[in-house]
Amino acid sequence: MTLIAEVEETLKRIQAHRGVVATMVVNAEGIPIRTTLDNSTTVQYAGLLHQLTMKARSTVRDIDPQNDLTFLRIRSKKHEIMVAPVLKTANPF
C-alpha cells in the first residue's frame, strides 16, 4: 500500500473510534489541511489550539531547551482534546 493510502487509512480508523468527535490535521502555520468538522469550527479550533501548542512548547523548551513537547491533552468537562505536535528537536524514538 502506498504511504499516503496507509496514512489515510489510519486517519479513518482513528476517526471511526467510538467517542471520537472530530479529527483535524493542521500544518505548521496553523492552517488546517484535513478536517472532519465544518469550516468555521475548524478554523476556530485550529487557530486556538495552534497558539496554545506554541505556548506550551515554548514553556517546555524554556525550562530545558533540549526538551520538547510530545503530546498535549486538554481535559474539560465535556470533552478531551488531544494534540500531537510537530517535533522540533531530534526524535528520541
Partner 1 sequence: VPKQSQAKVTALSRLNSKGKAGMQTPSPLSWCILGIICREGMPVYSVFDDEGKDVTPHPLFRSDPNTVLPRQGKLLASSAYFGATGSGFLSSFSMHQTSGVNGTLGSFSRTYGSSSTSLSNASTTESVLDEIVEPEQKRSRLLTSYNFSDVQVRQEEIKEWTNEDLDRRVDIYLTETETIWILDMPSVVVSVESEDAGRVLERNRIYVDICKNRPGNDRFVEKMMQTINGAAKNKEVQCDKIIMEDKGMLVTSWDLYDSFNVSEIEPTSKYYHVKTVFFPYYLLSGSTTSSLMISESAVLARIHEEEECHSEAILTSENFQQNLFFMERILMENIFQPKLAAYRQFPVLIGLFLIGCPAAVKEAKQEEHDKEKDKEEQKDAFVDPSILLERLWSYICDLTSGHNVSTMAWSKVNPDLLAVGYGAFDCKEQKKGLVCCWSLKNPMWPERIFQCEHGVTALDFSMASPNLLAVGMYDGSVTIYNVRSCNDAALLDSSESSNKHTGPVWQMRWVEQDRGATGDGKKERLICISADGRITEWFIQKRLDCIDLMKIKRTESEKKKLPGEKERKREALISQQAAGMCFDFHPKDTNFYLAGTEEGHIHKCSCSCNEQFLETYRGHKGPVYKVAWNPFSTDMFLSCSADWSIILWHQDSQTPILTFSSTTAFVHDVMWSPKSACIFAAVNESRAEIWDLSASILNPVTSCFANPRVKFTSVLFAKNTDCLLVGDSKGEVSVFELQNLAAPNNNKVRFTRTRWWSSEACMLVWYFIPPKGASVKDLANRY
Binding letters toward partner 1, positions 41-80, x by CB under 8 A: ---------x---x--xx--xx--xx---xx-x-xx-xxx
Measure the CA angle with vertex 7, ends 58 and 86; round to 5°.
Answer: 10
What are the Cα distances from residue 26, in Å, to 52, 67, 93? 13, 22, 23
Q: For residue 82, which of 6, 12, 29, 23 has the smallest C-alpha distance?
A: 23
- Cα-to-chain-centroid distance, residue 26: 7
Q: Which of 10, 36, 41, 44 binds partner 1 (CB under 8 A)?
A: 10
Q: Which of 4, 38, 39, 40 binds partner 1 (CB under 8 A)?
A: 4
Q: Which of 13, 36, 41, 48 binds partner 1 (CB under 8 A)?
A: 13
**Cell 520538547, residue located:** 68
- Binding residues for partner 1, rule: CB under 8 A, are 3-4, 7-8, 10-11, 13-14, 17-20, 25, 27-30, 33-34, 50, 54, 57-58, 61-62, 65-66, 70-71, 73, 75-76, 78-80, 82, 84-91, 93
